[in-house]
Structure 1
Amino acid sequence: MSPVNPTQRTLPFSSLLKSIPDESHEKTFAMLHTEITEFIKNGIGKKIASTSRSLWTLKHSAEFLSLATMVARPGADGNWEKLLGSRPYRCALLTGVVMMLLEKHVFSDLLFGAGEEQAEVLRMEDSSMVNVEGFRRSALRADTNRVYLEATGGIPPLFWKRVDSITAQITELLTPLSAAVGGEIASPSPYQALHDIVALAGWLNIAMRLSPKITTFEWVQPGEAYRHSFVSVGEDKQTNTASSEARRVRARVMISTTPKITRHVRSSKGFFGGTETYDVMKPLVFTYTGRFRDWEDSVGVSSLQGHVRSRLLSSPIPLLPLLVNAVRLLALACLVGVFGLVVFGAWSCVPGAYREMMLLPIRLSFRGLKWWLGVIVRHGEVNTRYSMVNTGWSWTG
């Protein structure tokens, strides 16, 4: 359930039944990227982290940590902390995370917002034609979706329900970080901005699924050597001077902010058939200066999971509370032991008929000791285990 009631963004659904040129897709994806960037910069990426605690050890979901490793890695210094602690890195990383979330949970749908029956028809149709040539399969899917949307008035029946659900789930995914650095992602204005972003992505999905053209998303892998076909949006200036002088170096990808998005269509020019492509979006990346060879560059860089474990293990342990609780437990155990011996001595001198009554205080004493031990464990335990928190919701809810 969303914390606010966002308004539904005005989108040109009526234009979807017409052929949308590649240039319009390019402009709309550029608009989507701009809105995501502004959403991050004006929210979670607006403030410098003031906490001394590692931002990677917050109660992030497993999906957030997984996505972070897919779009980012530390530079030559191997410092994971700066990727969330520094504003420019945090903005680039979270933009990549949101873009990848939209690709996984919006753009990958065969028709975003379709009813359950239509979604099942599309799945069965796509599965049954797995060996059919891609353009034929895409064209047939487009025809099926077009007929379906003509019957539903141009808008999939579950479109806004899906937008509400995914917006709430992205908000929950980013809440641990927004609570630590500020940004109030769940407040009305940021939530409305995110709701508009998801709605625009859903509209783009329908535009793609009504076209016989095939749209592909290709992500640049963190650590990959920089190419001229990439667009650099920033550079990590911190390099190892000694290493740079002793070895050949090259620019490498530290954060992959957007994927390469390409539209493919069957070519009918000339006597021979082929494929024409149109680059809708070039991959935007944040770079660092790394070593020339791939294996050399990866040496000494810990995984995100390993980094989180090391940060948890190196976090300061509150020794004083533990010592106080231990003294309390020891004193309580001594009192219970002395009291038990006194009662046991008296119990041995009493007739058998009254012995059951004499055992009652001992039982109550041990129950009290068990309860107090539970209180100490709950409030004095130091958790050094690394775990990924499952938020318990589904992206298809």
Structure 2
Amino acid sequence: MSEHRDIVYPRPRSPSPSLPDSPDSPSDDEPSSYQELYETRRLAAQHFDKMQAEQMDYFVGAIGNHLNREEQEETEREEYALNPRVPNLDDLNNILINRAELDHLWNTDDGLLGDDFFAIHAENLVAKITLLVTSHFAQGPVAIPASVSPWGMKTGDAEDTALEQYAKRIARPDMVCERPWDHLLQNEDARLLLLMGIIMRMLDDHVFSRMLFGATPEQEQELQELDRTQLADDGKYTSPTYPGGSLTCDAGFARSRVRSATVNLMLLRNGGIPIHFWNRVDELTHSMAMQLLPVLSYVWMSKPNHSYTFKKFYQHLHHQVAFAGWWAVQVRRSYAIVTIKWPTPGDPWEDKMENVGSSIFEISQMQTDLVDQEAVAEGHKRPIRRARVLVVANPEIRRYVPQIRGYNDFRILRTFVGCYNGLFFDRDDERQFVHHGKEPKNFDTDLVQYSLTRRWIREEEERLARLALRRRQGLPVLLRILIVLFIRFVLVWATGTTERQLYDTWVAPQVARALQEASKRTAGGR
């Protein structure tokens, strides 16, 4: 018979280590991997708790610093909004302007004055003005309070409204905005396009439309008289195919040939440069800089610590005016006819226009969708809409060159515009524009009147802010006086003495001691 044995199975161990003081824990002389695992987990838990506590302290500290910094920035922003950094006109005292390098361009051969020549340099001019605007009129890191109206900024002359007059000619606000005229300058994309259009319009009025930019008054008068004489000799026949439809092609180009020959003769006498070219550039630069000063002051509210100075802006503007003047002189040298056409703000968008403000139109679409949804909810019919011109950045420039039969039409520069989502029919869109003008609190159809109103409001706000600041500054002095009076009252009441006795007991000794110390210091100094 086989011997019976009991089979003893080893006791299964728990996957988690037991506590060191438990009866199941391994003895010191029998080290186990579970003991090491327990220690490792315990140390890991301690490390994790410590790391979590450090992260919590870091985040709490970071949030606290962020809130303190935001509070400080908000305070500085409010103070800066009341007293913003404005362009210092003293920068122009004894200023030395570095003239643009145009010497290599004045002697351009007549054979090079073709379509491509004018197109390349026209696009170059637009690029230069774009760089000027983006460099000096872009938004800074500090948010400008929405209550500050860009049209209410200070100008050299309180009644100067030249900037507003130019803005009205190239822009029309979107009526769905809360403050339509302000939105044109508060929105960065719209502001940049508006400033480009204003500068180009100024150049068109004072440079491109002149018979010869930089000519003497006598030369200007001679060219105008010659033009009138040729116009009278052109005859009464009109052609609908000619640009403008008022002259025949042959007569119009004949007049242009005579004018270009006279201009080239005048330039030849002075080395290819108009006699008063740089004087006119200086005068126009100063005039444009003063007219753009309010917008520059508004933008500088968002740049309290930037390094730009009014002198740098003035120098940059001077270069672009000089280049535009050179381009205008070359146009007059050529016998081709050049036309400059500005779209009317509020007109429907056309394929010949290039919409460069896509973000502006997208915002307008979102806003009009909300307005239309509210109208539908109230039981009205959803209006039909289409893109309309919000702001014109530059005009369309075309060049007409005579051919054997007729003429060649070449587009030198395509017009750039920004659009808004307006009503489909012209009369409805115009009616909406006029209707909003009946609410002068936030909008006035006439930008000039709106600007003058905003200037008065800002001056009143600044006056009230200065008054409140003086009151805050005088409050500590008033409290100090009240404390002194209270202490004197307490001393008189507590000691039962008269004011004369209080003076003799407390004040007189202090005064005498102060006089003695002062006399000793004086004697020692001698």
Q: Provide the C-alpha distance between the structure 2 equivalents of 1:174 and 1:102, rounded to a whole number of angstroms.
A: 13
The residue that corresponds to 1:152 in the other structure is 270
Q: Give ranges in structure 2 of 5+ residues lacking alignment.
A: 1-88, 235-250, 377-381, 438-444, 469-526
The verdict on how the C-alpha distance between 1:49 and 1:223 changes in structure 2, with shifts beyond 3 A counting, is farther
Amino acid at match of 1:200: F
Q: Provide the C-alpha distance between the structure 2 equivalents of 1:72 and 1:110, rounded to a whole number of angstroms.
A: 27
SS of residue paired to 1:142 = helix
Q: Provide the C-alpha distance between the structure 2 equivalents of 1:193 and 1:314, rounded to a whole number of angstroms.
A: 33
- 1:240 equivalent in alignment to 2:334: no
Alignment of 1:197-236 (within 5 A): 197-235=320-358, 236=360
Q: 1:57–1:312: 8 Å Cα contact kept in structure 2?
A: yes
User: 1:17 deviation in Å?
Assistant: 4.4
The residue that corresponds to 1:170 in the other structure is 288
Q: Provide the C-alpha distance between the structure 1 equivalents of 2:229 and 2:143, rounded to a whole number of angstroms.
A: 51
Q: Provide the C-alpha distance between the structure 1 equivalents of 2:275 and 2:211, rounded to a whole number of angstroms.
A: 14
User: Please, what TM-score do these two structures have when normalized by structure 2?
Assistant: 0.56
SS of residue paired to 2:107 = helix
Q: Provide the C-alpha distance between the structure 1 equivalents of 2:456 and 2:312, rounded to a whole number of angstroms.
A: 38
The verdict on how the C-alpha distance between 1:149 and 1:313 changes in structure 2, with shifts beyond 3 A counting, is closer
User: 1:70 deviation in Å?
Assistant: 0.7
User: 1:57 deviation in Å?
Assistant: 2.1
Q: Provide the C-alpha distance between the structure 2 equivalents of 1:164 and 1:189, rounded to a whole number of angstroms.
A: 15
Alignment of 1:337-352 (within 5 A): none
Aligned residues: 319
Q: For the pair shown, which has the larger CA radius of gyration, 1 or 2?
A: 2
The residue that corresponds to 1:54 in the other structure is 149
> RMSD of the alignment, in Å?
2.6
The verdict on how the C-alpha distance between 1:313 and 1:153 changes in structure 2, with shifts beyond 3 A counting, is closer
Amino acid at match of 2:166: L
Greater mean deviation of Cα atoms: 295-304 or 93-102: 295-304
Amino acid at match of 2:144: S
Amino acid at match of 1:308: S
* Alignment counterpart, residue 63 of structure 1, candidates 162, 166, 173: 162
User: 1:258 deviation in Å?
Assistant: 0.6
The residue that corresponds to 1:278 in the other structure is 410
Q: 1:40–1:46: 8 Å Cα contact kept in structure 2?
A: no
Q: Give ranges in structure 1 of 5+ residues lacking alignment.
A: 323-397
User: 1:312 deviation in Å?
Assistant: 5.9
Alignment of 1:261-272 (within 5 A): 261-268=397-404
Q: Provide the C-alpha distance between the structure 1 equivalents of 2:328 and 2:464, rounded to a whole number of angstroms.
A: 55
Q: Provide the C-alpha distance between the structure 2 equivalents of 1:62 and 1:81, rounded to a whole number of angstroms.
A: 16
* Alignment counterpart, residue 98 of structure 1, candidates 180, 199, 205: 199
* Alignment counterpart, residue 7 of structure 1, candidates 78, 98, 123: 98
User: Please, what TM-score do these two structures have when normalized by structure 1?
Assistant: 0.74
The verdict on how the C-alpha distance between 1:298 and 1:120 changes in structure 2, with shifts beyond 3 A counting, is same
The residue that corresponds to 1:192 in the other structure is 315
User: 1:58 deviation in Å?
Assistant: 2.6
Q: Which has the higher contact order (CA 8 A, sep 6+)?
A: 1
* Bigger proportion of residues as helix: 2
Q: 2:357–2:417: 8 Å Cα contact kept in structure 1?
A: yes
Q: Provide the C-alpha distance between the structure 1 equivalents of 2:384 and 2:231, rounded to a whole number of angstroms.
A: 46
The residue that corresponds to 2:423 in the other structure is 291
Q: Percent identity?
A: 29
The residue that corresponds to 2:79 in the other structure is none
The verdict on how the C-alpha distance between 1:18 and 1:195 changes in structure 2, with shifts beyond 3 A counting, is farther
Q: Provide the C-alpha distance between the structure 2 equivalents of 1:46 and 1:16, rounded to a whole number of angstroms.
A: 43
Q: 1:113–1:160: 8 Å Cα contact kept in structure 2?
A: yes
Alignment of 1:318-333 (within 5 A): none
